[in-house]
């Protein structure tokens, strides 16, 4: 069975700082990878996804993620965060025949 781990449970940073959230998965086959964001009091929204092709994926709101197959990783990055990026971020993985599996989530607090 596949699993997803997000290394940081909580991240606190100041506006304009760079953000990188780690995500590693365990599955030997072809995977589809997602980052979802959940803003306070709001529903899960898709930030970006990787199915195939260019391993550097650009999403909404200036986020990007890089799929490194050899490291089983799909880290999320943003060069300069804003206060409005305060949210919980979930990495998720799915593969043929397997359900969408979420990581434990990372709570990001951006201080103004």
Partner 1 sequence: DTEVTQTPKHLVMGMTNKKSLKCEQHMGHRAMYWYKQKAKKPPELMFVYSYEKLSINESVPSRFSPECPNSSLLNLHLHALQPEDSALYLCASSHTVDGFSTDTQYFGPGTRLTVL
Q: Which residue among 84, 104, 109, 111 contacts partner 1 (CB under 8 A)?
A: 104
**Region class of 62: left (phi > 0), else alpha (psi between -120 and 50), else beta:** left
Residue 40's φ and ψ, nearest 5 degrees, are -50, 125
Q: What part of residues 15-74 is at the interface with partner 1 (CB under 8 A)?
A: 32, 34, 36, 42-46, 49, 51
Q: How far apart are CA 90 and CA 15, in angstroms?
A: 21
Q: How far is the CB of 7 from partner 1 (least distance, A)?
A: 15
Residues binding partner 1 (CB under 8 A): 32, 34, 36, 42-46, 49, 51, 90, 94-100, 102-105, 107
């Amino acid at each position: 069975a596949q699993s997803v781990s997000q290394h940081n449970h909580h991240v606190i940073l100041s506006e304009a700082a760079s953000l990188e959230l780690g995500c590693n998965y365990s599955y030997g086959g072809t995977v589809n990878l997602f980052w979802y964001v959940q803003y306070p009091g709001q529903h899960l929204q898709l930030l970006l996804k990787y199915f195939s092709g260019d391993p550097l994926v650009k999403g909404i709101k200036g986020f990007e993620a890089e799929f490194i197959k050899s490291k089983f990783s799909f880290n999320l990055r943003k060069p300069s965060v804003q206060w409005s990026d305060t949210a919980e971020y979930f990495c998720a993985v799915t593969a043929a025949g397997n359900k969408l599996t979420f990581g434990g989530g990372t709570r990001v607090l951006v201080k103004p």
